[in-house]
Structure 1
Amino acid sequence: MVIDIIGAGIGGLTTAIALEKKGLKTRIFEQAEEIKPVGAGIILANNAMQVYKKFGLNDIIKNNGQLISSLNITTSNLKPLSKVDLSHFEQKYKVKNIAIHRGLLQQILIDQLKSTEIILNHKLKNVIKNGNEFTLRFENGKDYNSSTLIGADGINSVIRQQLFPKNSIRHAYQSCWRGISDYNLPSKFKNELNEAWGEKGRFGFVQISEDKVYWYALKSFKKNKDELVFNNVKKEFYKFHPTIKDIILSTPIQHINEAEISDLKPTKVWHKKNVCLIGDAAHATTPNMGQGACQAIEDAYILSECLSKYEMNKAFNEFQRIRLPKAHQVVKTSWTIGKMAHYSSPLLIKLRNTILQLTPSSINKKQNENIFKLGSI
């Protein structure tokens, strides 16, 4: 049996690695014509790094990224509001949180695959059910038969749309710029992720290598996102701290990408017989907790454990039972944080900031404990 995976993103590649290690054969179909080292940065939180440690990838990822030991929320002028010290979790789970270039991580994962074939330039067009199998029809005119199918094809998953029709995408009415800057942060920021909250917008930044900073910036819009000056991001954040303005100014415009923020309204069905959804295809989340890719990585680990222990239908059912509650909690919490971070009322902003400052560290610690603890079979 060959397990077909649609999508060579972080979730799809990690799933292929996990299944290979269980002795299962996989094949990946990817719509891109070639895999290039493009993209922005990514934060691999403690839960994701626990998985990669199980796969023997902890050292190579750590050596190619930047250690992150603190997660901070600040005012627009970088005055601290909330801080999560990650040292407790580093000691407990024996892994670090890592910030790394997404394209570099993708190449590390590809290099780990031993037998998986990655078939490029294959954008899925239709999934046709043929008895107990599927015909995968691609936009380049080619067809493939598949007996077992994993959808790792993102929030706009063709597999989900065609085989799991009862789902809907929610729009946050926020747009996000992401960029990589040739910039060296002041030493006090070197091993931190800082996210500055202002009026109807926020700016996050983190060092991902010795001379590169990954940053992201979000702004709310009401009905027409064109009201934002997308080609002049510095104009949207001119009131923020000078370091933030320097980071923006040091980034070539061609290295800045923009996208509207959405998530998948939580759905209770991720699998049917011999097809299963993972990652954003199953539980796409807004990027407010840094857990989008991390939850897909957890999916890969739990799914491989289930498939090595049970027959396929039971494996998919157990995977959904174990993973769905946590993934949905991340989606719901992230959505709430995203709305709270974009308050426009001065009174609400003041109240929000006061609550953040007064929240005991024990509460933050408990919340992260729930996120970082891996599920088990």
Structure 2
Amino acid sequence: MSRIRSAIIIGGGIAGPVAAVALGKAGIEATVYEAYETRADGVGGTLSIAPNGVDALAAAGLGGIVEPVSTPITAMVMRNGKGRRLASLGSPAGLPDQLLVWRPELYRALHDAAGQHGARVEYGKRLVAIEQHDASADTETGTGGGVTAVFADGSRASADILIGADGIRSAVRSLIDPAAPAPRYVGLLGFGAEVPAGPVDPSRLDPTGSEMHFVFGRRAFFGYVLAADGSGGWFANLPRATSMTASEARAVGADEWLRVLRETFADDRLRAVDLISRTDPAQLVTVGGMEDIPTVPTWHRGRVALVGDAAHATSPSSGQGASLAIESAVQLARCLRDLPYPEAFATYEAMRRDRVERIIKMAQRTNSDKAAGPVGRVLRDLMMPIAMRLMNPESFAWPMRHHIDWSAPVTSAGAAGTTPLVSVASSSA
């Protein structure tokens, strides 16, 4: 039984509030400290919550909070720029549909739920230092000592442990390991927007219903959903040799980026241009360079551990970033519920590392397809339909079948309580 009673969580994005609720369920009082001055309502584009993410939310006691603000996606349809259907992937057998949600809606739902569960969030708290107390004296028992977070405004907060949930550019990661790897640019710039209802030319762009459509265009990648009334949302991944930060990309201006995107997709038959042209520049989400981190050597040190993108940042192409962050927050809480923190942190890493790094590698292959050159496009369009017909469905579905049994006790063996949602034969991606 763990003796941990209090936790500092740095970062209030997705993993932070989930960790606060899950820790509370485990009997650990947690406070979230967010660097931004206010809540980040209204910031961000679309993302998906996979069945494994929905399952992890339920394990934390947050079941049902995403469904009211999301849209079920029953299939993902891949086409090339000429309109040819390359492949279609439906929901894996025995699993619920993926949920498409705008990040601001997910953010709001998680923060509202965290507040209802008694978690406190403090804003304007940018971490600058971590002080660990008597960390070497209590390694065997997990008792005594503590950790203090020092913030830029001069304030301090102390607790038994500290959790870094502060994203791909984690300050916590750098503080516990100054040699930690930096984010890696994957060769794509990210954009997206929501579009209001309006006229649709069915000869150019059909409504998608409950499907998500992905277009491997001649020059860039485009994803979209489109309702019968013309409303919907889209995102684009634009290949570029050198990266740009989000602020650098936004400095170019939304009008200019929309012009570039219209030009980029002008020759594709499935007219992404129609959606881009109906986009209000004020609604354009400019992400800048898409990034990942293939491996983070140090997930924990002393009384400090990492969750979410701070520990395992996958590029958006995985479709699993939010779901993996939610999973890790819940699994860490289970470990801390049942084990002294040194064992809890080591067991948590043993549970998670192989799984998340495998998914990061899968996303790397998707990024390569999105940025394919002329020869690569031809080979991709020829081989993808064949590969999809021959593919073992579980090579796609296995990430989604991850189930967390909250009630199962955790032992230092590592993976207790982690079983498939549906029993299937093991397979490799």
Calculate the TM-score normalised by the size of structure 2: 0.80
Give the corresponding residue for 1:101.
102
Tell me, in whole angstroms, the C-alpha distance in 2 between the residues paired with 1:192 and 1:276. 38
* Distance in 1 between residues matched to 2:154 and 2:262, nearest whole Å: 44
2:192 to 161, 178, 183: 178
Q: Is the 8 A contact 1:15 1:300 kept in 2?
A: yes
Please give the TM-score of this superposition, normalised by the length of structure 1: 0.90
Q: Which range is displaced more, 356-365 or 268-277? A: 356-365
DSSP 3-state at the match of 1:153: coil
Q: Which amino acid aligns with 2:22?
A: A
1:124 to 104, 127, 148: 127
Match of 2:52 in 1: 47
* Contact 2:189/2:243 (8 A) holds in 1: no
State the match for 1:247 in structure 2: 275
Q: Distance in 1 between matches of 2:322 and 2:303?
A: 24
Q: Which residue of 2 aligns with 1:201?
A: 220
Distance in 2 of aligned mates of 1:224 and 1:267: 21
Could you tell me how far 1:200 is from its partner in structure 2?
4.2
Contact between 1:65 and 1:208, CA under 8 Å: does it hold in 2? no
Q: Distance in 2 between matches of 1:224 and 1:260?
A: 5
Q: Distance in 1 between matches of 2:219 and 2:295?
A: 25
- Please give the alpha-carbon distance, in whole angstroms, between the structure 2 residues aligned to 1:210 and 1:38: 25
Identity %: 22
Tell me the amino acid that sits aligned with residue 118 of structure 1: V
Q: Distance between the aligned counterparts of 1:57 and 1:217, measured in 2?
A: 31
Deviations 1:123-177 (A, max 9, x none): 2122234433333222223222243011110111001012122322212232111
Preserved contact between residue 66 and residue 207 of structure 1 (Cα < 8 Å): no
Q: Give the corresponding residue for 1:147.
A: 160
Go from structure 1 to structure 2 and tell me whether the alpha carbon gap of 1:210 and 1:318 turns closer, same or farther (over 3 Å shift): farther
Q: Structure 1: which 5+ residue stretches go unaligned?
A: none
SS at match of 1:144: strand
Structure 2 alignment gaps of length 5 or more: 136-145, 404-414, 417-429
Cα distance between partner residues in 2 of 1:139 and 1:46: 39
* Partner Cα separation in structure 1 for residue 85 and residue 228 of structure 2: 24
Aligned to 2:406: none
Mapped to 1, the partners of 2:9 and 2:106 lie a distance apart of 19
Q: Kindly indicate whether the alpha-carbon contact (under 8 Å) linking 1:203 and 1:217 is maintained by their aligned counterparts in 2.
A: yes
Answer yes or no: is the 8 Å Cα contact 1:208–1:214 preserved in 2.
no
CA distance in 1, matches of 2:110, 2:311: 21
Kept in 2: contact 1:18–1:55 (CA 8 A): yes
In 1, are the aligned partners of 2:180 and 2:296 still within 8 Å (CA)?
Answer: yes
- Kindly indicate whether the alpha-carbon contact (under 8 Å) linking 2:176 and 2:300 is maintained by their aligned counterparts in 1: no
Whether 1:352 and 2:380 are equivalent positions in the alignment is yes
User: What one-letter code is carried by the residue in structure 2 that aligns with 1:19?
Assistant: L
Answer whether contact 1:49 1:96 (CA < 8 A) is retained.
Answer: no
Partner of 1:236: 264
Could you say which residue in structure 2 is the equivalent of 1:276?
305
Corresponding residue for 2:138?
none
Q: Which of the two has higher C-alpha Rg?
A: 2
Correspondent of 1:297 among 310, 326, 335: 326
Distance in 2 of aligned mates of 1:213 and 1:16: 33
Normalized per residue, the structure richer in helix is 1
* Equivalent residue, structure 2, for 1:219: 238
Q: CA deviation at 1:192?
A: 1.3
- Offset of 1:80 from its aligned partner? 1.5
Which of 158, 171, 174 is equivalent to 1:158?
171
Q: Is the 8 A contact 2:11 2:32 kept in 1?
A: yes
Contact 2:196 2:231 in 1 (8 A): yes
Change (3 A) 1:274 1:78: farther
